[in-house]
Structure 1
Amino acid sequence: MTEWRIINEGEYSEAMHHAIDEVLTEKMDNGEMRPTLRFWYRKNPSVPMGRFQAFEDEVEVEYAQEKGIEVVRRLTGGGAMFAEPGNVITYSIYIPKEQVSEGFKESYEELDRFAVEALRELGVDADYAPLNDIEHESGKLGGAAQLRKDNAVLHHTTMSYDLNTAEMLRVLRIGKEKVSDKAVKSAEKRVSRISDHADVERREVIEKMIEKFVKDKEHEKGSLTDEEVKKAEKLSEEKFKTEEWNKKL
């Protein structure tokens, strides 16, 4: 049985996190790395935007610039999300493609099952919702996206722990709604937060997720290597921080 590396550390910029995703996915694709689960810790509020989205259609650009909100285009598809340090939970799974179901529906459900089980044990009535969401009956808790290479799969998921819904509406162009009480209430019906359903710290949620993930796996707590960090730092500067990548100029 392959031993998994579990990374639960490392505070970085949004651009750096996406660069790490690319570096580790390439290593997995080339057979140079063992399977890895990595939790993200952000330095600043940000908007990870879907790879195929148009920058100015998704983000209130002036507001994002004024508030120092970092906007970064992901490697994966899907929609734009708002992320705040301490108020979201994001994890990435880097896994050999042969260990992932070919069907997207099956693979999303399988790879996020540990997170759903962890939330349920903490008192959050969560469930998988096709194609790529985790939901509570009161709204969406989070969503996942994937990148598939010849020999590897990157699967990453972001969930709302205690997201500021009003701020989300200010920075994302969700139907170009104004930030009124009515708009916030409407958004709250679509977006649910873990903290709304369980009196538990974010740290405890992550610890429970790790516990559920490793229950049937050989594993050890690990860190990014110096080589991985250096490669990601270079890629962050040359790609994920550039207007050419983020605005597709």
Structure 2
Amino acid sequence: MSIGRRAFRVIDTGVRDGRRQIAFDQAMIDLHREGKVRDSVRFLRFQPCALVGRHQSIGKELKLDYCRENGIGIVRRITGGGAIYLDPGQVGWELVISRKRVPLPTLQDYTKEICEAVASGLSQAFSIDARFRPRNDIEVDGRKLCGTGGFFDGDTLFYQGTVLVDADPERVLACLNVPEEKLRKRNLDNASNRLVTLKHLMGGVAPDIESIHEAILRGLSERFGIDFSFELPSDDEEILAAKIHDDETGTDEFVYSIDETPAQADCGAATLSGPGGSITALVRLEGKEQTQRIQTVLLTGDFFVAPPRILLDLEANLRGVPLDSVSGAIDEFFAATRPELLSLAPGDFKTVVHAALRTLRP
């Protein structure tokens, strides 16, 4: 798919604190949406940190005590997806582009095109067989080399990924609260069964960072027919990123904004797991018997939805809804908002909410 030879901007923000890197994500998106930043590729690396997805419960997903005891930062992304560990031994890459310039029907289509492009670039550069595996991974022989995710903000598509270069797979999982049944099911008691690094694939010698950047850019250029212009981050981006960090992504209020506690007697809980990710619903009711209605709903999980705040809107819309109107309210919400869901359907949210409600009934 060619979108013309107009140059994309390429910037590299180097190694930074995780919360500051996330703030830069948001700044770049905001400025691109306003027409102040053109289509871009950004490379980045992180000081050691554990990140949860935008919709995940931080206490449920991370081993917080381990992270704090070992100086590992605790961060919340602005994208969906699952919890991950990052350090300077992983290379981050991001795209901020206009959907009009790359017209594809759904987020799933963008995911496939971008991941196949990056996989091709890595394969050619390092003589490996990297392949896109739905819903959003790049793998080599069934082991994950790169995780990705993204969302739409108006005409702006933000898409990001990380390449495992020289990370310690055991430490990756040491930070994450992976359920034992998931470890057994996927044979993950040894992290190397699921994760692989470029260093391992290349016989114990990690490639230099610049060669990884070049490989990713080559894959994107060949797939989309674009050229690249190498620049420094703009002053506008740095100033706005610092403000977003101080006001939002750098604050504990944002990072710990979803930190569900175990279900109590008055709280119904249910989880729906499938190929599209997991969704957990926590529901509290108010009123008596025939007049019961929803007091609050909390929806968490490792799913992708665009725009990310759509789940906050759904939770707000369900407050005060009578129990016999819940299905209709969810259907009407998704029909009106028409969000992008990666490998999920509106019916999945309806199913998990009703499952949580059933746990509150005799």
Matched residue type, 2:151: L
Pair 1:213 & 2:225 matched:
no
Pair 1:237 & 2:239 matched:
no
**CA-atom RMSD in angstroms:** 2.1
Pair 1:173 & 2:182 matched:
no
The whole-number CA distance in structure 1 between the counterparts of 2:207 and 2:151 is 30
The whole-number CA distance in structure 2 between the counterparts of 1:74 and 1:90 is 13
The whole-number CA distance in structure 2 between the counterparts of 1:202 and 1:174 is 31
2:149–2:159 CA contact under 8 A, matched in 1: yes
- Equivalent of residue 148 in structure 1, options 146, 152, 160: 152
The whole-number CA distance in structure 1 between the counterparts of 2:23 and 2:10 is 18
Please report how far the alpha carbon of residue 9 of structure 1 lies from its aligned counterpart in structure 2 after TM superposition.
4.1
Matched residue type, 2:245: S
The whole-number CA distance in structure 2 between the counterparts of 1:70 and 1:206 is 25
Please report how far the alpha carbon of residue 173 of structure 1 lies from its aligned counterpart in structure 2 after TM superposition.
0.8
Please report how far the alpha carbon of residue 176 of structure 1 lies from its aligned counterpart in structure 2 after TM superposition.
5.5
Pair 1:248 & 2:252 matched:
no
Please name the residue that 1:201 is paired with.
207
1:169–1:184 CA contact under 8 A, matched in 2: no
- Equivalent of residue 116 in structure 2, options 109, 113, 117: 113
Please name the residue that 2:349 is paired with.
none
- Equivalent of residue 23 in structure 1, options 24, 27, 35: 27
After alignment, is 72-81 or 184-193 more displaced?
A: 184-193
1:165–1:184 CA contact under 8 A, matched in 2: no
1:91–1:158 CA contact under 8 A, matched in 2: yes
Equivalence map 1:26-175=2 (5 Å) = 26-42=30-46, 44-85=47-88, 87-98=89-100, 99-121=102-124, 122-175=126-179
1:142–1:159 CA contact under 8 A, matched in 2: yes
**Secondary structure at 2:196 match in 1:** coil
Please name the residue that 1:180 is paired with.
none
Q: What are the Cα deviations for residues 150-192 of structure 1, in whole angstroms up to 9, with x where unaligned?
A: 1101000112112212212221111259xxxxx8753211112
Q: What are the Cα deviations for residues 48-91 of structure 1, in whole angstroms up to 9, with x where unaligned?
A: 21000001011111111111111111111100101111x11211
TM-score, normalised relative to structure 2: 0.63
Please name the residue that 2:341 is paired with.
none
Matched residue type, 2:120: E
1:123–1:197 CA contact under 8 A, matched in 2: no
For the pair shown, which has the larger CA radius of gyration, 1 or 2?
2
TM-aligned CA distance change 1:132 to 1:229, over 3 Å: same
Could you say which structure has the greater relative contact order, defined with CA pairs below 8 angstroms and 6 or more residues apart? 1
**Secondary structure at 2:86 match in 1:** coil
The whole-number CA distance in structure 1 between the counterparts of 2:166 and 2:14 is 21
Please report how far the alpha carbon of residue 10 of structure 1 lies from its aligned counterpart in structure 2 after TM superposition.
3.1
The percentage of aligned residue pairs carrying the same residue is 22
